[in-house]
Amino acid sequence: MKRRRKYFVKPSTQLRLMATTMLATLLMSLFSTYFLIRCSEFVVEEGREKTIVPIYSMNQIIMSLEKESHPKDTAAKVTSLKNELHSLKEIMETQYADTVEQWNQAERIILAVLFCFLLCTGLLVLMYSHRIAGPMVRIRTAIEMLCEGKNIAPVRLRKHDEFKEVAGALDKLRTKLVERGFLESGR
């Protein structure tokens, strides 16, 4: 199998096709990513609000317990309760901070996947553009040779190329030109 030497057979056409496809892909990806991030931020914010209220309540309870004087027999229980509330408050704050960090990491992963998706799209479009640009170049070259009165071999396209019907029509035209004597019959 022959290795490709040129990645752009017809650069203006291929680059326009790539730019158009990449722009559409980028816009759709950014639109989807934006709404995914916004919805997730809403969930994270809602989680923060659900965490803030209990933490605020715990702070109020701890402050009120610290202000009150308690008999000796309940002072130890109150101190134990304050310590438990402090521990619970710290656990809730840590869990929320972990959730926020996990979300920030997920955002970075989403953006990395978006970049990889766009890169893959660009490569696929480049590969597909060869199925369009290659036949266009072959057909144009054949037409130019026919215009000069030179006979050509039938234009053969690869299995997955586009414009096979145009190449077939061009071969019919070539045959008619040879039959009518406009082209030399030898190749």
Choice between 15 and 89, residue whose per-residue pLDDT is larger? 15
Assigned domain for 124 exists: yes
Is 173 contained in some domain? yes
**118 part of a folded domain:** yes
Which residue carries 């145009």 as its tokens?
166
pLDDT at residue 137 in the model:
92
Q: pLDDT at residue 28 above 60?
A: yes
CA 114, CA 33: separation in Å to the nearest integer? 8
Q: 186: pLDDT confidence band, cut at 50, 70 and 90?
A: low
Residue 4 lies in a domain: no
Q: Is residue 43 part of a domain?
A: yes
Predicted local confidence at residue 170, as pLDDT: 96
Evaluate if residue 113 carries a pLDDT over 80: yes
pLDDT in tens, 71-91: 777 777 777 877 887 888 788
Give 156's pLDDT tier (boundaries 50, 70, 90): very high
Residues 180-186 have a mean pLDDT of: 78
Q: Which of 93-97, 116-120, 142-146, 147-151 has the lowest mean pLDDT?
A: 93-97
Domain that holds residue 54: 11-179
Q: What is the pLDDT of residue 60?
A: 80
Q: How many domains are contained in the chain?
A: 1
